[in-house]
Amino acid sequence: MSDNEIEDVSFLPGESLHRRAVYERGIIQRFRFVACTKAKIALGLVLVVLIIIIVALSATIANHQDTEKSSSEKVIENEKQQTTTLTPVSTPNYTATNGQPFPYHNIRLPHSVTPVSYKMYMHPNISESFFTGHVSIICDVNENTDFIVFHAKGLTIMTIKVSDNSVPTNLFGVVNWLEHEDNEQIYVRLMKYLPKGLKINMYIEYNGTLGTLLHGFYKSSYLSSSNEKRYIATTHFEPTHAREAFPSFDEPAMKATFEMTMIRDEQHFSLFNMPLKVSTKLDNGLYQDEFETSVKMSTYLVAFVVCDYKNVSETTKRKIQVRVFAPPDFIGSASYALEVAVKVIDYYEDYFGVKYPLPKQDLIAIPDFEAGAMENWGLITYRMADVLYDRDTASTHNKQNIAVVIAHELAHQWFGNLVTMDWWDDLWLNEGFASYVEYLGTDIVDHDWRMGDQFVTDALLRAAYLDSLANSHPISQPVSDPGQINELFDAISYSKGASIIRMLNNYIGEDVFKAGLVSYLNKYNYGNAQTQDLWSSLSEAASHAKLNTNVTRLMNTWTGQTGYPVVKVTRSRDKMTLTQSRFLLNTSPNAQNGTPSPYGYKWEIPFCYTTQTEPERPVKQLLTDVTATVDGILGDWVKGNCGMYGFYRVNYDPDTWRGIIRQLNQNHTVFSVPERAGLLDDAFMLARVGQLDYSVALDLSLYLVNEEDYVPWSSFLDSIAFLSDRLESKPVYSAFKAYLLKLMMNRLKTISEKDWLKFENISDLEKYLKAAIIDKAVGLGYAPVLENGRQQFMSWLTNKTRVKEWGQEYGPLAPFCFFNLNVDLKAVIYMTGVMTGDGTVWESVWKRYNEARDDNEKRKLLYALASTKEARLLSRLLHSSLNESEVRSQDAPMALSSVATSYTGQILAWRFLQQNWDTIVSRYGDTSFMIPSFIKSACSNFDSKFDYEDVRSFFEAHDPKSGKRAIQQVLEKIQANINWVSQYEQKVVDWLNKKSH
């Protein structure tokens, strides 16, 4: 280790204890050679005297030099001390792009200069794919300093000027500016000091590329009805991409106001977070759009779009203007989103007790979009499939999804926009709340969807699976660089965050919970908050309501450590013992258990239970210790986690499990719909890790012959997919299929007794169940359903051919009309046709995919194309996913994941990822949300040591970029799969063989 490396040891990964050891061990070893002879002692005394003199002189020189240190050096030292908990993934090389040393050594910006307002001028040249701009940033000087550091990435900066804001002629000369690519920072050295308390104006001219990376300021396109390719310019800035569009202080706590001037051509118009103030035609024929100044907000929420769209509009009860923008040919599909948005805004204003703070709310469909949607304040951007609803192509589930996404993004207008997390380690404050509240907002749109029940399968159980991994992460997770930040956009921040909020709401009560939220929103509005601020507000509300609940202490055990508990219920006579322990998917002795927990992997659990004798009377108890005993438990069974409000699993002693199974077989409706879903998931996950005998889980599932509700079936089909993947290539698979078909037979009979294409007079969740059962029957190769689906597919294919010939008579939209397919069964009918068809059929569907213009329709067709059993066609689909003219880059992860779900396609998808890794990283960027998606889709289902080593060695040789945590999780899943095959597969085989006989 060189001297320089020792000086930079504060940037090394690890705890301070390790850093201290580096120094102390060196000192001990350095003096170990001294021997106890008189001569050596005398020599040693002389050396000691010399050392003391040298040290004294050095201290004097150092003190003198310290008084001469520049402001920049002092602030840098202060910033190092302030952010010692934020350590980069590796020791960075602080060299600027011109080869000079980069003076500032921190991933976080200094607070010596902070922004107050931005005046932005943008001129995109869409046809030539570049933009020019300049920005004036008024800043507060908080400390004496002779330097400024801000963010920029991929921009060419031509001019930087710094002046006194009140005296513009008073310039602070710029000595030079340096760029650090890794930290995406610009360092500006000034000729003289900026005094504390001054307001300055920093003026920057720059230009950049209008690229296709799906973040920053980028270019997107769509096809008109006349097959003309039209382009738009749009933005996506979360989490750290505003710096790719304009120089900025791109951290969430550095809030400011924004004023925009946009230059555009006549055929376009522009949109911004705020309403248009004035539009002026310039002498060169271009137009200049000037917008009203925004409220104080974070850079990642800024948005602007230049396009030629149409819109539909309406106002809320308080006369807030709501508009939905879409390409002209699709504006007829925008009405549903408008209806949802108006209804949800009105509801949220009432629920939060805080008025929506802007004069307008726009929703706009973007043809190429990395995320599902983005909550930019006043200008929310969406994938087209997540905002446009066409009743001829979109299923009921698509319709629900549109409502959910809109409700989620509108929730952010309060949670995230009005009150923003202080730093990305508390991302869950944004996403967890929006993911919880979206269910409330969507339920207002349509009560028939029973969003409270669907929460269990769509959010809670999804999060519980990911959080079963040792390589999961706490809800509040320290992060530093953009790649780490992107890793937090997962089911932990979203669904686990939503689940623990729902659990707390249920425990302290809706009135207390809402009072705490209102206090939180009002206290931190237009500012930033941390997790502890939320707990403080809710604790105060609980205290005012005279609840004996320490919300902070309780909830810290859920946000401050990875994972969640399983509560073991053991009964003896009329007593019940509760024992909590961490639930882990990989239980092998050599498994990593992640980082140590400050709470020792012990949780304060709002435990709730009912008994057979009083099934309607839930009893709540806060479990704060590892074990607790409850008296007076009577009856054949006890059921923990009432209503599935708790983020924990429950295991029972064998007698209690048998009592629960008897109850399910006698009258399963004694347990609520969410409870039945939870029992199924708990049983199969506990069996999967060896905490429950598989015969119990499989015996419990037999009650499903009488289950008529979608939610428990959804839970079961998700759980059983793991067994299907493990057994598909084994001789026992025929017995496994027979077991599933036996469970499904009553539902299949109900379907066959009626026309399975007709969904009239049934609820939406009944439609979901009907479609799910048909889909599973097709996957199992059940002949009657398979043949029915094949016939319907061929009728569709014939109709499509005929309609294509009628294009002249019925106009350009005729090839995209559908006459005889139920929209809720389109996906499974397309899949059935491709599964049972040959290469000619596949080519026909591929052609339909390329002709289709509706995004929901394209998704269904793309999924169907991946269901072919021909490896040649799967490989072709994978390679087409990297061709933008065939598959949009936003849909490539779906193509790969769809291929990887089949037995044939799994290895093809992995080999494709290996062969095209560099292309994928180049196409999406090294901090993209999509990188982890590619990794997890291609690798998670392997279950052999060979595959484990193949994945591990590949990513040892190739940087996974923003997928580092995804690699750790994938390897953990593969190891757990390997363990399952060796330890538990035979138990399932024995049960299936016994039942089949």
* CA 231 to centroid of chain Cα atoms: 28
CA atoms within 13 A of residue 829's CA, in its CB half-sphere = 20
944, 945, 951, 953: CA torsion to nearest 10: -160
Query: 379: which strand partners?
Result: 362
Which is the catalytic residue, given 79, 339, 409, 857? 409
**489-513 b/e with 16+ CB inside 10 Å = b?**
bbbbbbbbbbbbbbbbbbbbbeebb
Active site residue 205: no
Burial class from Cβ neighbours inside 10 Å (0-12, 13-18, 19+) for residue 117 reads middle
Strands 321-326 and 310-315: antiparallel
| Triad 749, 754, 758: Cα angle to 5° | 125
Residue with tokens 């289950």: 707
> Quick one: DSSP state of residue 447?
G
Q: How far apart are the first and last CA of the chain?
A: 69
Contacts of 516 (CB under 8 A, 6+ apart): 534, 537, 538, 539, 540, 541, 542, 551
φ and ψ at 380, to 5 degrees?
A: -85, 130
Give the strand order in the sheet containing 145-151: 145-151, 185-194, 174-180
CA angle 716, 718, 719 (to 5 degrees): 65
| Proportion of the chain in helix, strand, coil states, percent, rounded to 5 | 50, 20, 30
Distance of CA 406 to the CA centre of its chain: 16
CA 429/CA 355 separation, integer angstroms: 20
Q: With beta carbons less than 8 A apart as the criterion, state whether 842 and 875 touch.
A: no
What 8-state DSSP symbol labels residue 547? -
Q: How far is the C-alpha of 848 from the C-alpha of 896, rounded, in Å?
A: 19
Residue pair 569/576 in contact (Cβ under 8 Å)? The answer is: yes
Alpha carbons 625 and 40: distance in angstroms, whole number: 61
Q: Rounded to an integer, what distance in angstroms lies between the CA atom of residue 853 and that of residue 884?
A: 15
Q: How many helices (H) and strands (E) does the chain have?
A: 33, 28
Q: Return d(Cα 61, Cα 55) in angstroms, integer.
A: 10
Burial of 974 (0-12, 13-18, 19+ CB in 10 A): buried
- In this structure, are residues 248 and 151 in contact, taking their beta carbons and an 8 Å threshold? yes
Q: How many CB atoms are closer than 10 A to CB 176?
A: 12
Q: Which two structure tokens, joined as six digits, stand for 150?
A: 């801000």
Question: So which residues are the catalytic ones?
Answer: 409
